[in-house]
């Protein structure tokens, strides 16, 4: 049977080192990207699409990116690097300042550690920052399962085999 993963870069745990830096991801934020992300996550609150409301009620510069949209960018950032066989187990974040149209978001990250759990699932622990003009706006940590080798598939784990 043809291996569909052969068409894509899929990192295995053997290809990752603690301390490794992830490639940066840069994106110019527009009103469209804020609103698209809010609607895609079914967040209808006006501070994510109505500038007057955001400025007057939230005292922000403009409409601002909602939390699930930031999480979606995080997911993209991780899988751009690790490929489709990577499976996110958990992530944690702390938000600081708002991200508004006109900002240039820059995601950067590093591998903080590598471990194998008692079910032989291989994990990388990532530390990721979302910055604008060099200032961290949101800090994330993420625990991501990577294949042990080219035959392994973290997505195949169910029940007690999956301990995120």
**116 vs 124: CA distance, rounded Å:** 9
155 binds another protein (CB under 8 A): yes
72 binds another protein (CB under 8 A): yes
**132 vs 67: CA distance, rounded Å:** 16
* Backbone angle region of 42, left / alpha / beta, with phi > 0 → left and psi within -120 to 50 → alpha: left
Q: Which is nearer to another protein, 113 or 155 (CB)?
A: 155
| Selection from 130, 129, 101 nearest residue 34 by Cα | 101
- Which segments of the chain does DSSP mark as H helices, in order? 31-40, 51-57, 67-82
| Residue that is written with structure tokens 């508004």 in the block | 100
Choose one: 47-55, 74-82, 109-117, 123-131; the region binding another protein (CB under 8 A): 74-82
**Bridge partners, residue 53, by sequence:** none
Near another protein in 36-65, by CB under 8 A: 36-37, 39-44
160 binds another protein (CB under 8 A): no
4 binds another protein (CB under 8 A): yes
Near another protein in 110-129, by CB under 8 A: none
Q: Which is nearer to another protein, 19 or 149 (CB)?
A: 149
Q: Which residues bind another protein (CB under 8 A)?
A: 2-5, 7-8, 27, 33, 36-37, 39-44, 67-69, 71-76, 79-80, 84-85, 87-95, 153, 155, 158, 162, 164
């Amino acid at each position: 049977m043809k291996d569909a993963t052969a068409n894509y870069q899929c990192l295995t745990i053997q290809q990752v080192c603690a301390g490794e830096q992830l490639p940066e991801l840069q994106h110019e934020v527009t009103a469209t990207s804020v609103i698209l992300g809010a609607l895609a996550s079914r967040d209808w609150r006006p501070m994510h699409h109505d500038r007057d409301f955001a400025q007057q009620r939230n005292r922000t510069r403009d409409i601002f990116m909602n939390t699930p949209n930031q999480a979606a960018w995080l997911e993209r950032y991780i899988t751009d690097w690790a490929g489709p066989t990577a499976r996110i187990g958990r992530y944690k974040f702390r938000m600081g300042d708002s991200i508004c149209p006109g900002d240039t978001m820059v995601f950067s990250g590093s591998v903080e550690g590598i471990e194998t759990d008692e079910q032989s699932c291989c994990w990388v622990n990532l530390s990721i920052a979302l910055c604008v003009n060099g200032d961290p706006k949101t800090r994330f940590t993420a625990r991501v399962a990577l294949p042990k080798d080219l035959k392994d598939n973290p997505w195949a784990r169910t029940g007690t085999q999956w301990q995120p």
